Structure 1
């Protein structure tokens, strides 16, 4: 009978010195690689044992979301629970915020209940940085307006790395509503630090001049860049953040920028098709492409849990814990790793 492979070794990285995860702009290439490596190791350990890890047993993570979320909120909760942490779920609807309590006072109240980390999403850029200045616990940015969404950028990069081995030297295009996209900003910072060539593509009304200052290539013609692209990340149009419609009609946008079967034939045979979600079928992507063999959209969702496990562990974990500790039954008669 063949022996069951041992879970991968887990050791707290000595080079990690951060208390918060607020953006990718301030992280080094080494920091980003540390997060990606930890995500893969933690995911492999969870799959190998089939049980919760006890790495954050006794810790509490609070989700403070002031904007709607499905993937990010649920995956942060699942990530915390897979690490053995407790979670507190906050919704601004029906809370004291509706009675006039300030954002900072709300966060301080939650912290006073004994939480170790706050995961926050807010429509205003810079809110996670503001919290980090006022709270003693760790703060993780789950999206602050159009500014950044660091864990989304990390999970996108992890998905590329898993499929291509490395990000360095790849051409990655972000297509769609660039101006209002926090996902685009985090992807740009992370991809460039790891050596990718980044193109932003979309209508001129949705790409401001500032993007060129970030060292990316700007294009308004998807068909012209497709043959060069190794990866396409298709961003939805965020009508909720726009005062006026940026193009005549959704149909016209789809004709110019939707990834469809015809454009797939113009692309590299092994192109990766990504989308941070929620996707609008028939607008930025057609069903046959979203569900096709080059699509890694569901892999992105799966990697979201892994990346958020890594972020929570690196911010809250015990750097002095012995290597390989962490299965839920480590002290209950199970076989030690």
Structure 2
């Protein structure tokens, strides 16, 4: 009896140990399944690289029928093919409002993707997550993911190619939402668009975290106060969560100047009312992320409240709630509020100014 129990315990232990490498392997980043089929040359003082992306029209020649451009940024899995399909689905659902649009879906590839697909050395590639905050590429040159977005906007601002373009929407869900929120703070590329009379909107959908402009964080009682966990979480206010240690792309910009520019921009926060799982596998569970709230919906609503408190009379931004939708990029982008944010289609009934 005792021997049988010992053997049983040993067998169980062996099974548990044998499962550990598999679980660890499952948590490692995996290469993407599909690499986007088009390329855009991105040139900065640091060098030149080729950005992988999908584009719905031939933007190498004039597109006089295009009046709107919708840029959609993938999540942390870098699955641009999935987000491209969702963008196409949203465009079709928008009906007439989507017919004159061009869709652009960049792909921030990682080293593991380049290796798996034997991509040319000139293909831009980042770490598996650094691109979310504007980090420099690991190759072929130190080009920020935000430089890549600037290059897309520069192409769209070319009036020889897009003589009738009126609006550009930069949208992202989950990890892509993190990109859009941070890019909207630091964005340099929109200046050329605005100089050409082209409006720019940023759509931030269900990100795990936001960049704050001060040391305040939600206090757990509906308000905000200086973060009390500094000792245990010393980097809570570092970029991409705050204004300390801004990325190279930011240049000499000051937090005060960045905040003034940000609150004047057209930003729509698109949040699913069911994105409330505090243990979601893709939720940022670092102490920096946890300082902003327990789950994505709470973090997003708190951030909008924070901005409204700091700018009661000068915030050009809105919150749209998508009823019953959780962490689902396809359902978010194709919802009534998603279509309103992307294509100005009527029907979003859950928005607040």
**TM-score normalised by L of structure 2:** 0.32
- Whose radius of gyration is greater, 1 or 2? 2
Structure possessing the higher relative contact order (Cα contacts under 8 Å, 6 or more residues apart): 1
More strand by share: 2
More helix by share: 1
